[in-house]
Structure 1
């Protein structure tokens, strides 16, 4: 039983779960806009998500505490290296203009973890994008839109039409709402200068904001050319599940509450899309 728990924790800590969430949202975009032949892109998104998230999470630890790293962290480092190599392989199979587009997100990921911009823009000695007051959640939202909406459309050489733009706005709103349980969970741990949403408006108002975002998420679906019907019902179920997790979010929830259940909502969305 202990082995199963360790494997499950590795699954979460190594960012495999969040990578599957990213693949799910990318696949949903491909399904919505009838994009075929996206296997290489999905593989790239999977391995790039693991590489990027683990780089952001563990860069500081690996840099300053390499000799004292625990065994599980060393395993994650090795796993991340393998994923990076696979990412490079699948990246070479994508369109040239897609590679140029991807380079933008590579730079953002680099700046998100590594101190490089002038000191006056930062909160403390870490000096990276994730520590700029109030900016973290919006950077993550924009990156997820770029990877899970714009990237599959661009790689397929499809037009960026009104429906794609609406889907991008929808995805941004959804990701922000999905991050609120994480923001509430980390309220007692985050530096107050980060100015996270719960820090600025409180937990109750954060939950209300989450519900309003989900209402906007559903409303935007009705503005699409073929909005409504079965797709709307799927989004309604996804919104209700997300709303429930937001409402029951607390600072002392189980470690798996956000890291597994909330992060797993995109997988539920893909399941409903494929099997409806």
Structure 2
């Protein structure tokens, strides 16, 4: 058995969209350690994608914006794993985020109420809702993991209103951990990565420039890789991380300590 002791552990991964998804990388990391992975995706189209990427793995469909869908997919997974016969989940990955930028990016103070509340519902409340409805399927020592961002205090204009929503997601970790402690040892954590090259990020105006800037700020001068985020996720899902609870673990390759990099400062001030 490997160090992470993930062999034959069972995990549900919400959020795979394509091969560049963080959810996809996490599923690969878990599978490489011998874990059993169940995928939950938003649409039938994504179910087909998941089946191509992970042949033989179960794939279910659930649009988390409707709570009834979460309850339905819970029941479907329970039937598939034989929960009444002792089947349990060792962890759940929540890699879901959505923001409606169909009208383009606007100054934060012009954020539309309906867009903000929808983003909170899908990107934050769904994690709480999944925890609530799946609690009876979870092993008492299970781990629940979500995907945040490396900082919610940096006002990146092209990230729109998602940083405040991720801040709410981060805050929910401690409340979920405390609430669940009355009946289990289930842990709630987040991986908080720096800038990544994903399909979702590619659609953000100006993101490429920010990504290239981040690469220069990172001390090693190499961008953060999705696999590095996935490896951290695998550790947090394993019982080797049993002492970590209610935390957002930053994975940014040291970017946050190097904003005053000599080369960047010199170029910016014309030195």
Bin for the TM-score computed over the shorter chain: 0.3 to 0.5
Where is the helix percentage greater, Structure 1 or Structure 2? 1
- TM-score (norm. length: structure 2): 0.35
Where is the strand percentage greater, Structure 1 or Structure 2? 2
